Amino acid sequence: KLLLCRVVLGKPVEQYTAVRIAHAPPGHHSVIGRPSAGGLNYPEYVIYRGEQAYPEYIITFRIKKPSATDSMSSSSSLDMSNNT
């Protein structure tokens, strides 16, 4: 399962290195981590208050094990059927 949320960043501060920040910096509400050489590999968005996130969707998926016929192709298969 995957939880998809809307997030309010407010006034973010940008960060280019992987540093642990326990609280939002003064005057800011969140941190945006930007990828950089020798720093972060992927963009990151960090919020510090639960009220900044609004859960909107629960996405349920199942990764199917490849069958003998699937092994001939290089693509993987996802079952996104709704079984609720």
Domain boundaries, the chain: 2-79
- 3-class SS shares of the chain: helix, strand, coil, % to 5: 5, 35, 55
**Quick one: pLDDT band at residue 5, thresholds 50, 70, 90?**
very high
Strand partners, 5: 55
Mean of the pLDDT values across residues 2-11?
Answer: 96
Q: What is the pLDDT of residue 58?
A: 97
CATH number corresponding to 2-79: 3.90.228.10
pLDDT digits (tens, 9 = 90+) for 18-53: 888 899 999 999 999 999 998 889 999 999 999 999
Torsion over CA: 27, 33, 34, 39 (sign): positive
Backbone angles phi, psi at 21, to 5 degrees: -120, 115
What is the rounded CA–CA span in Å between residue 55 and residue 59?
11
